[in-house]
Amino acid sequence: MPELPEVQTVLATLQPRLLGRRIEQVEVFLEKIIKAPHPQEFVALLRGRSITGLRRRGKYLLLELDGSHLLAVHLRMTGRLVYSSPDTPRDKHVHLVFYLNNGDELRFQDMRQFGTMNLMPVASFEAFCSQKDLGPDALDPALTGDLFEKRFQGRRGQIKKLLLDQSPVAGIGNIYANEILWRVRIHPERTITSLTPVDMEGLYRAMRSVLEEAVAGRGTTLRDYVDGEGNPGNFQSQLAVHGREGEPCPKCGKEIIRLKTGGRSSFVCPGCQC
């Protein structure tokens, strides 16, 4: 958390505010979030650059900069990237501030300090994705159902773990893996080799529909997530199973249970996902 829908919502809210803005200065309060290059070089390279575009790959928010550079931001568990006026009080967990040419600020806040930033030439981004073993984006129009199935061929293990592994497809985390598997009536502990072509087609369609609906709902706020303007998401009210242990399944009415799958909580309907 945040997952694909939340990062997409952050992008959508920041884009009209950041596009064309120049970064006048960068102040880093916690150097460990800067993974590359060295924090001093990071600041020097960003100073004076304009933001020419924003896009996303999986859970990475990508800021395109003039001079053919790219800033890849990963929010991890509790990261926030919020556009703020300079007179807005700073939270104690603000670890980096971009000072913009209109006097406003873009602040990176992260209570658990797991978020990361990588600054690189645009031409190096695909190599960066290969290094991170980052698969195609789960909502990439080029990711067809056939290609989706091929991304899982030759793999082993439980389907829930493979959905959370960003190498087959990128962008799915625990919340939406639970929702996708419930929608397609697949138990999270089923092995990938047990799934039929019909199962895989249903999984692909469920992935697309759940993620698209969550983007339309502006993401899910359970604890920490806010968009680029500091506002919570709305999709938490539409979750069918995630976080709803003990509640009735919206489809069959049986009580939703919680399992541990690979150290993560899986919320399952024992009637629909038997």
* Residue 250, helix vs strand vs coil: coil
Residues in the chain: 274
Tokens of 92: 């104690």
Amino acid of residue 192: I
59 part of the active site: yes
What is the Cα–Cα distance from 40 to 83, expressed in whole angstroms?
A: 23
Beta strand pairing status for 79-84 and 69-74?
Answer: unpaired
3 part of the active site: yes
- Tell me which of 3, 6, 64, 179 is the catalytic residue: 3
Residue linked to tokens 């929608």 = 183
Tokens of 78: 């509790």
107 part of the active site: no
244 part of the active site: no
- Tell me which of 205, 251, 264, 270 is the catalytic residue: 264
Tokens of 267: 């919320």
Integer CA distances (angstroms), 131 to 126, 143, 172, in order: 9, 21, 19
- Tell me which of 59, 107, 160, 161 is the catalytic residue: 59
Active site residues: 2-3, 59, 264
